[in-house]
Amino acid sequence: MNQENTQGGAMTKFSILDLAPIKEGGDAKQALNESVEISQCAESWGYSRYWVAEHHNMRGIASAATSLVISHIASNTRSIRVGAGGIMLPNHSPLIIAEQFGTLATLHGNRIDLGLGRAPGTDQNTMLALRRSGTEDVSQFPRNVVELQHYLKPAEDNQPIIATPGEGTNVPIYILGSSLFGAQLAGMLGLPFAFASHFAPGALQQALEIYRNSFKPSDQLEKPYSILGFNICAADNHDTAVFHRTSSIKSIIRLRQGNPGKLPRPEKNFEEKLNESQRQVVSQMSKCSAVGDAENVEAAISEFLQATSADEIIFNCSIFDHEARLRSYEITSQVMNGIRRDGRKNDRKEARSLYS
């Protein structure tokens, strides 16, 4: 079985979810170039994986052609895992995705991840423009996941349809979710579960409970493995971090108002201008977030790990300034490596006490 290596907080992995944000005054090429540089730095800082997400008809996101972006990042890195967080399976046939990710695995070896979501990642009109019928329901998603798994396994005798490349690559599949449905499916199929707690924290604890209680071992995984989304905005001092976070606050508010766009510039004292409903939006997104210097960030992450027993945290950072965004991820890696070192020390102390 392909078992993720983790033992509680001491071995908690940490990764990056990159939406390849297109900034005001910038373009998609700039966004993708910055993603490559971040992935290269993340590799040297100890991040486990670098995921990009499929969104369509979003002027502020450059990763619509997700498999191509994954290939570009994998070609410019050496060891970090690269994958989709995720592919919105209702937009595609399982065979096409098997061929795409089978090709990625053929080119880049055992570094490719395939996260799958059941939402279209766009609006109804755009989904129709993607040449899908628009009539698919939730019940088809589990069947399509199983079909996709079938294409990635070694072909059976006289199998009529074979994904080439794809067959026999066994690209690991992850179920994504922001509700309880994904938790149930991931548990039933014995797959790792990635929960979008960075934007849907309300159902997190219930989803984790359902996933862990319903988990059935599979060929891919022996025991439950959870990856939890977390917003990060770290800087060398608290005020700088608060300033940079205003870009993501603006972006979320515009999205909730039905007016998404490019990542806006940060603005001093922006939070003071928010009305009550906007403050509630900020409060909701702050539940699985850390903002501030290394000390603030460490406290927030440690509390999150204590509450969730996450096997892995996947960080999302929406900062306008590229160097500030790199610095945020660097500080976060230092914090996580420190948490892991301290956790190992505590584990060793606990082990000695058990046998003394």
CA distance 48 to 39: 10
Residue 120 has pLDDT above 90, yes or no: no
At 8 the pLDDT is: 42
At 129 the pLDDT is: 81
CA distance 169 to 155: 10
Residue 352 has pLDDT above 50, yes or no: no
At 284 the pLDDT is: 83
pLDDT, mean of residues 93-111: 97
Question: At 256, is the pLDDT very low, low, confident or very high (cuts 50, 70, 90)?
Answer: confident
pLDDT, mean of residues 167-189: 96
Residue 344 has pLDDT above 50, yes or no: no
Residue 73 has pLDDT above 60, yes or no: yes
Residue 282 has pLDDT above 90, yes or no: no
Q: Which residue matches tokens 């078992």?
A: 3
Residue 340 has pLDDT above 60, yes or no: yes
Residue 285 has pLDDT above 90, yes or no: no
Question: At 79, is the pLDDT very low, low, confident or very high (cuts 50, 70, 90)?
Answer: very high
CA distance 188 to 174: 13
pLDDT, mean of residues 209-222: 97
Counts of helices then strands in the chain (DSSP H, E): 11, 9
Name the average pLDDT for the chain: 90
pLDDT above 70 covers what percent of the chain?
Answer: 90
Which tokens sit at 243?
């300033």
- Spatial CB neighbours of 291, under 8 Å, sequence gap ≥ 6: 233, 234, 238, 241, 242, 245, 297, 300
pLDDT, mean of residues 172-194: 97
At 134 the pLDDT is: 54
pLDDT, mean of residues 244-271: 93
Q: Comparing C-alpha atoms, which of 293, 274, 281 is closest to residue 332?
A: 293
At 2 the pLDDT is: 56
At 4 the pLDDT is: 58
Question: At 10, is the pLDDT very low, low, confident or very high (cuts 50, 70, 90)?
Answer: low
At 281 the pLDDT is: 84
DSSP letter, residue 155: P
- Spatial CB neighbours of 23, under 8 Å, sequence gap ≥ 6: 30, 31, 262, 263, 265, 320
CA distance 75 to 36: 9
Residue 65 has pLDDT above 50, yes or no: yes
In three-state secondary structure terms, 325 is helix
At 193 the pLDDT is: 98
Distance, C-alpha 271 to centroid of its chain: 27
Q: Comparing C-alpha atoms, which of 203, 204, 184, 190 is closest to residue 305?
A: 204
Residue 307 has pLDDT above 90, yes or no: yes
pTM exceeding 0.85: yes
**pLDDT tens profile 262-275:** 999 999 999 889 99
Q: Comparing C-alpha atoms, which of 227, 226, 112 is closest to residue 173?
A: 112
At 1 the pLDDT is: 55
pLDDT, mean of residues 168-183: 96
Question: At 348, is the pLDDT very low, low, confident or very high (cuts 50, 70, 90)?
Answer: very low
pLDDT above 90 covers what percent of the chain?
Answer: 78
At 242 the pLDDT is: 96
Q: Which residue matches tokens 């929960």?
A: 195
Lowest mean pLDDT among 202-216, 280-294, 325-339: 280-294
Lowest mean pLDDT among 93-102, 140-149, 183-192, 196-205: 196-205
Please give the full DSSP string across 254-299, using - where no structure is assigned. Answer: HHHTT---SBPPP-TTGGGG--HHHHHHHHHHTTTEEEESHHHHHH
Quickly count: other Cβ atoms within 10 Å of residue 255's Cβ: 15
pLDDT, mean of residues 132-148: 78
**Residue 8: is the preceding peptide bond cis (ω within 30°)?**
no
Which tokens sit at 262?
């490019």
At 109 the pLDDT is: 95
Q: Which residue matches tokens 């502020």?
A: 60
Q: How many residues comprise the chain?
A: 356
At 350 the pLDDT is: 36
